[in-house]
Homo-oligomer: A and B are copies of this chain.
Amino acid sequence: MSNDEAFHDLLALLQSNSQQSLDDLVEWLRIPSVSSDSGKIAEVRRAGDWVYEKFSAAGLQTRIIETEGHPFVFAETPAVDGQPIVLVYGHYDVQPAEPLEDWISGPFDPTVRDGNLYARGATDDKGQALTHIQSVCQWLAAGNPLPLQIKFLIEGEEEVGSGNLERLLPELADELACDCVVISDSGQYANGQPAITYGLRGIATYELHVQGPSQDLHSGSFGGAVMNPAIALCKMIDSIVNGDGVIQIPGYYDAVQPLSDSERQQWRQLPQTDEAFAAGVGVNELFGEKGYSTDERRWARPTFDVNGLTSGHQGEGVKTIIPAEASAKLSFRLVPDQDPVKLTEQLEQHLRNHTPPGVTWNLKSDHGAPGMLAATDTPFVDAANVAIEAAFGTKPVMIREGGSIPIVTRFQEVLGCDCLLLGWGLSDDNAHSPNEKFCVADFHRGIEASARLWHEIAKRAQ
């Protein structure tokens, strides 16, 4: 039997096994593997063990890599001479499910409604990771060797920052050595429009704490005598970005590369209007830096956001105080070549220059990671294009993503590999929110696209 015939049989097998594939996902999703919850350490490990068993049963070389936190599951198929090595990265941990009362069905009681499977982790990332696990395990179950070597690293700390993986990556570099890392932990461009993501923004997050008087003061007896730290905080935040959405920190744009005309041209042809985008998020008008399209602004321009504000009286009714303190959570999205460490210095200097009299402040840097740009003229991208078009019935578009996956940049740096970000999710999948879901049809398309990807990559290397 030729490779093509065998592959044709595999596709038929994947289809006939589709209910079993979904049942597997439901079983995995039942495990509440919330990595940030210290009361759920055993459950997180159970979710790791589940995928360990899955790989072992399919005949992959599998091992648990212990860390100071939740373990990694590593698995691999045999090396294939003359063929590249692909590393699939995913994670078996999930975000907390709270607020529980907002879930229509329980977060760990996976339920299908209207063609979607609802559960915490359905799309982020158990559902997406499982598409690759299924394609490989079922390939082996059909009695055929994989045409190239595939390694898996499925970790349990992605939702708490992947600290152990970042730390251990250099010493695991030999074991994880690969030509391309494949990650499905993002989204399609739109419903029915799959995408290949070749760029990510970086991130830098901070907590800014402004201190005024040593305790809350009566705003009658003291109003007019001292600086109000909540007003001071507002003025400091206002100083960071002007009314046109342009960040005012000196040097902030120094390392930012202009977008290429061809990239801008390509994105302007993507099938989404500002009107539809605005309606989707419930605002009457979009906003951002002038001279850039919406996708340009959110994918490829650096931005500033306030993630939270806290000061003084937050309950019902009136309490006429000058609060003793005020604080804000700040985040910046960076584009490739912007350095989060440098930003911290620039931000501190800017805030020093914009501190109102009578308050002091403290800036805590939480975490930072640079942005990422992957090459698009690789055989891997070419193979993914063909695989996705065949499985989804639509040619994928080439996009960037505004979010950050810090570990991707580290894979590039430490393993020196190419990178394929193939998201099967949708923007309304409620990742990190109540009623997280994954479209069941996209789950099956993802499995097919994954199998086709291995086939297409191997074909190109022959």
Question: Interface on A for B, CB 8 Å cutoff?
Answer: 187, 201, 203, 205, 212-228, 230-231, 233-235, 237-238, 241, 243, 245, 277-278, 281-289, 294, 297-298, 301, 303-314, 317-323, 326, 328-329, 331, 333, 356-360, 366-367, 401-404, 427, 431-433
Instruction: Determine the chain B residues whose CB is within 8 A of the CB of A297 once the complex forms.
Output: 224-225
Instruction: Determine the chain B residues whose CB is within 8 A of the CB of A301 once the complex forms.
Output: 224
Instruction: Determine the chain B residues whose CB is within 8 A of the CB of A225 once the complex forms.
Output: 277, 281, 286-288, 294, 297-298
**How many angstroms from the CA of A371 to the CA of B217 in the assembled complex?**
20
Choice from B218, B235, B303 contacting A223 with Cβ under 8 Å: B303
Given A224-B298, A234-B234, A245-B224: A331 and B309 within 8 A (CB)?
no
Q: Is the CB of A320 within 8 A of B303?
A: no
**Least Cβ–Cβ distance between A422 and chain B, in angstroms:** 17
Q: Is the CB of A320 within 8 A of B203?
A: yes
Instruction: Determine the chain B residues whose CB is within 8 A of the CB of A432 once the complex forms.
Output: 218
Q: A219-B333, A220-B403, A313-B329 are in contact. List 9 more A-B contacts (CB 8 A).
A: A218-B431, A220-B401, A221-B401, A222-B298, A223-B305, A226-B287, A284-B358, A307-B312, A308-B313
Given A282-B214, A289-B224, A298-B221: A311 and B309 within 8 A (CB)?
yes
Q: Is the CB of B283 within 8 A of A307?
A: no
Q: Is the CB of A230 within 8 A of B308?
A: yes
**Least Cβ–Cβ distance between A234 and chain B, in angstroms:** 4
**How many angstroms from the CA of A321 to the CA of B278 in the assembled complex?**
17
Q: Is the CB of B309 within 8 A of A233?
A: yes
**How many angstroms from the CA of A104 to the CA of B319 in the assembled complex?**
23
Q: Which of A233, A301, A308, A321 has the most CB of B within 10 A?
A: A308
Instruction: Determine the chain B residues whose CB is within 8 A of the CB of A245 once the complex forms.
Output: 224
Given A215-B433, A234-B233: A224 and B402 within 8 A (CB)?
yes
**How many angstroms from the CA of A237 to the CA of B231 in the assembled complex?**
7
Q: Is the CB of B307 within 8 A of A320?
A: yes
Q: Is the CB of A367 within 8 A of B318?
A: yes
**How many angstroms from the CA of A304 to the CA of B228 in the assembled complex?**
9
Instruction: Determine the chain B residues whose CB is within 8 A of the CB of A223 once the complex forms.
Output: 298, 303-305, 331, 333, 402
Instruction: Determine the chain B residues whose CB is within 8 A of the CB of A213 once the complex forms.
Output: 281-283
Q: Is the CB of B226 within 8 A of A286?
A: yes
Q: Which of A221, A366, A401 has the most CB of B within 10 A?
A: A221
Q: Is the CB of B307 within 8 A of A313?
A: yes
Instruction: Determine the chain B residues whose CB is within 8 A of the CB of A326 once the complex forms.
Output: 306, 309
Choice from B287, B367, B427 contacting A357 with Cβ under 8 Å: B287
Instruction: Determine the chain B residues whose CB is within 8 A of the CB of A231 once the complex forms.
Output: 237-238, 241, 304-306
Instruction: Determine the chain B residues whose CB is within 8 A of the CB of A218 once the complex forms.
Output: 403, 431-432
